[in-house]
Structure 1
Amino acid sequence: MSLPAGDGELAAGMEELSLGGGGEGDDRLGALPDDVLRSILLRLPSTAAAARTSVLSRRWRRLWTQLPEIRFPFPSSPASVLPALASRTSSSPGLRLIHVACRDAPAAATDAWLLAAAAPGRLAPGGEIYFYNRTPGDERQQVGAAAWQRTAFRLPCFEAAAKLWLRLGFAHLDLPPASGSGGVFARLTELRLERVHFRCGGYHLGDVLSMPQCPALRDLRISIARGVEKLTIVSETLERLELDILYGLEELTVMAPVLRALNVHACFAWRKPVAMVCVPRLELLWWNDAFDPSLTIFGIGDGDEEAASLQQLTTFNIPVYGRFDYALLQDYVMLLQHFPVVHRLDLKLIYERDLSQFEYLMEIITGLPNIQTLSLWLQTKGHAIGASVFHLLSICPGIRKLQVTLLDNFKVDTPCTSVCACGQQPNLSKCYTLDVLDEVEIHNFRGSGHDFAFVDTLFSMSKDIKRLTITYHHLARPSEEPCKDLCSLGTPGICSEIYFNTTEVLYQPPSSFFPKTPDDQL
């Protein structure tokens, strides 16, 4: 088995230690207990590196086959996985992890190792499988017909696996039969299917994901997928569901009595979705898609008050300036008016760089849910944010906490001129008072005139702000004088905290419930 670049020096060093370093033939490492030696091998970067230690001595020859993990990091060959699985003996422990990351995986080799990994006793109960296949389509973010899409993988039933993550580079995927003959994913709690083309047409995808075939499934993510026109998921265990860019989806049905988090993003290609979502315990709803209350039915909460349990509603990319015939904006308005009470509302507002060709659209939004926390993510392109933010504040009088995050590119989005349309909108601060707002957070503060004007106006609208927290953009170089000006705002009893971001990490809006994996960075 070949060794990745850099592993040769590591093996050479281990060989010197194993031989005593002085040529006397004493196997110092070999004298250690097996469990200690296995813990050493687990620290090597790959299974291939662990296998190379067999050359050290007889003592090492079979140790690597006793490891509880098989790891082939990018870029590995799927052809190496099956021999690694076959080398394990009846005394080898069940695998707790199989991690394979490769490029342009051939179907035959991949099907062979997937089938071998699904064999009884191969995985330990609760084991994890991660398979990442990088293709030219994956690299160019393409999902159209291409040569690599003719590759088709077959997914066997992993009865012992608890976590299964497949990122296939837009290759086809054949699912196991949605019946007793297809087996049961008895222990599966987390499933992530990304960049997949379901060759079955998606007609039984929901059956495979639902009970009784997945009786323990809690977390499900399907991202950037084709081949699913109708999706029905019925599960008594599902707690988190994320559907991200399902090309061609027309109908969605979710019956999940314990679901707490739902994220639907760009699945209906901005067509009017037909959806029935019965999730009485839902707490987090991220809906960044078309919406029509006559076609999309939410069953949230118990009793007469719909959405009684909903804690957070999130929707992104609301245009501040645009054209009045922009249909998706009307969908956003209907979505925001659909839920009367939400604890926290997250919105992302976007500006055009040149406003001269567009109309101010925020006044179309005439109502928001009754909320306590308003979190705004603002892609301003250098424009003033006061008019849009104060409009939203004026229609949610019960707000107690305001979070504002600026998403501008510090080097490109320079502040606009004083004659820009963004400064000519109605100034609601002169006729409106925020009676209960007591906490304000501003992230990625640039220190521009627009930024200081916004903070100054905010304090003139609310005399009860007790806490102000500002974090400067990591490229901003604020002087001491502006900091003094910020600290002097408001009443003497206000607690002001100003931070300078030295980590060069920008605040960004969340895009998924699921954490990133190391393979996401490839």
Structure 2
Amino acid sequence: MDRISALPDELLHVILGFVGDALAVTRTAALSRRWRHVWVHAKSLTIDAAAPGRFVDWVLARRADEDMGSLQIRISPQGRRTSPEQANGSFALRFRDSGAPLAVELPADPVRATSIDMDLSNRRRALGDLVTSSCPRLRTLRVVVAAGLPYLVLRAEALEELEVSFAWCLRALDVTAPNLRLLKVKRCATDVVRIVAPRLEEIFMSICRRLTLPALDIPQDCLASVRRLKGISVDMHGKYHRATYVGLWLMENCHGLEHVSVRLRHGDDYHGDELLDLTSEAAAPIVNVTSMVVRPIEVPDRYLVASVSALLMRFPCLRSLSVKIYGTKWGTVRPKCFCDAVAYSDKCEIHRKEALELLEEVEITGFTGADEEMKLNL
């Protein structure tokens, strides 16, 4: 008795998933007719071929109107064209060729694709036009661009989540998405970021080339709904920070902000930037933030305590605090920067004290002590 063939399709898909090799999977049809096209109806499919166009069309035709969780198509350098007309659910395209031209068509109307994961290494096609015209119902878009995409202009009515990462050549990111909730810009070297998204709730912004004002253009009404900021950087030199950098600006202008994850940096490329003292009386407190994660990066040991303490003074209503220290880049030896200037000789002296009276949870990882101990008045 063939008990395995009697199992439901969902369990057979799991079994075939462990087989992995496409040829071996198709050969299971020799077992019985029951196995002939079981794999075609899997919720998640990955197709890797030089020219998968007709094969993809055949697979999707067999599925008819079945829902699909994920369809991933990998095209080798010999591939030239694919037209997955019936893809729905989550749709993934990955191009890892060395620059050979590829023609790519996303599903045409009626479109059921709601999630697209695109690896556009070495691609030069107008991604914004492609997505806007082909996927009007798109809710999730993740783009990995190693090179070749200097500008990304995107207009997407239904888009809710956007992630752009590893875009080393991306000079400008311009997004208009009235329903966007989550924006991630990770490990990019972007000069200009323009975002129009009035329902934005979370921003993750980790940009290698440090973004300065006014290169970040987000209208104030689009910041009102932001509740979480992650990955942002603040250049701290003791109690001073650079006023032109966007990290602290975002924290000050997202008035509904509740959680912040921030990286503290001690940059050595000072060129006369305007500097602000975070401990001065003019530095207004940011009272809505109740949860914070601080990760000091490239902060010399002797400025670590002053930098962290000065930042915390801006957030008197914290209830949860995590400081994660993973070592410093320079230790006691560092390049020359504005900290050596006479005008800022008091850079580590903090005369004002702030009590974190609401603090309930504190986690400090990797702190070994510096010239002075970190003191929190709880």
Q: Please report the TM-score for the alignment, with normalisation by the length of structure 1.
A: 0.56
Query: Quick one: which amino acid aligns to residue 37 of structure 2?
Result: Q
1:347 and 2:262 matched: yes
Specify whether residues 159 and 66 from structure 1 end up closer, same or farther in structure 2 by C-alpha distance, changes over 3 A only: closer
Alignment correspondent of 1:74: none
For residues 7-58 of structure 1, what are the alpha-carbon distances to aligned partners after superposition, in whole Å with 9 as ceiling and x for unaligned? xxxxxxxxxxxxxxxxxxxxx3x26663459835741412544444456xxx
Match of 2:159 among 211, 222, 238: 238
Query: Quick one: which amino acid aligns to residue 208 of structure 1?
Result: L
Q: Which has the higher contact order (CA 8 A, sep 6+)?
A: 2
Secondary structure, in 3 states, of the residue corresponding to 2:263?
Answer: strand
Match of 2:136 among 215, 219, 222: 215
Alignment correspondent of 1:198: 123
| Aligned-residue CA RMSD (Å) | 4.2
Query: Quick one: which amino acid aligns to residue 286 of structure 1?
Result: F
Contact map agreement 1:243 1:264 (CA 8 A) in 2 = yes
Query: Quick one: which amino acid aligns to residue 128 of structure 1?
Result: S
**Distance in 1, Cα, partners of 2:330 & 2:169:** 39
1:258 and 2:179 matched: yes
Alignment correspondent of 2:103: 174
Secondary structure, in 3 states, of the residue corresponding to 2:130?
Answer: helix
- The alpha carbon displacement at 1:116 in A equals 3.8
1:63 and 2:34 matched: yes
Specify whether residues 349 and 131 from structure 1 end up closer, same or farther in structure 2 by C-alpha distance, changes over 3 A only: farther
Alignment correspondent of 2:46: 99
Q: Please report the TM-score for the alignment, with normalisation by the length of structure 2.
A: 0.74
**Distance in 1, Cα, partners of 2:138 & 2:204:** 20
Identical positions, percent: 20
Query: Quick one: which amino acid aligns to residue 346 of structure 1?
Result: S
1:308 and 2:224 matched: yes
For residues 442-467 of structure 1, what are the alpha-carbon distances to aligned partners after superposition, in whole Å with 9 as ceiling and x for unaligned? 25x3463459932xx11xx23xxxxx
Match of 1:156 among 83, 89, 92: 83
Match of 1:113 among 28, 35, 55: 55
For residues 270-289 of structure 1, what are the alpha-carbon distances to aligned partners after superposition, in whole Å with 9 as ceiling and x for unaligned? 53x1x442211111012233
Alignment correspondent of 1:297: 217
1:431 and 2:365 matched: no
- The alpha carbon displacement at 1:226 in A equals 3.7
**Distance in 2, Cα, partners of 1:415 & 1:440:** 29
Query: Quick one: which amino acid aligns to residue 236 of structure 1?
Result: E
Secondary structure, in 3 states, of the residue corresponding to 2:157?
Answer: coil
**Distance in 2, Cα, partners of 1:295 & 1:38:** 50
- The alpha carbon displacement at 1:232 in A equals 3.0
**Distance in 1, Cα, partners of 2:299 & 2:242:** 23
Specify whether residues 132 and 450 from structure 1 end up closer, same or farther in structure 2 by C-alpha distance, changes over 3 A only: farther
For residues 221-256 of structure 1, what are the alpha-carbon distances to aligned partners after superposition, in whole Å with 9 as ceiling and x for unaligned? 111244434433223321111112334434433222
Specify whether residues 40 and 374 from structure 1 end up closer, same or farther in structure 2 by C-alpha distance, changes over 3 A only: closer
Contact map agreement 1:279 1:300 (CA 8 A) in 2 = no
**Distance in 2, Cα, partners of 1:100 & 1:32:** 25
More helix by share: 1
1:126 and 2:126 matched: no
Contact map agreement 1:300 1:310 (CA 8 A) in 2 = no
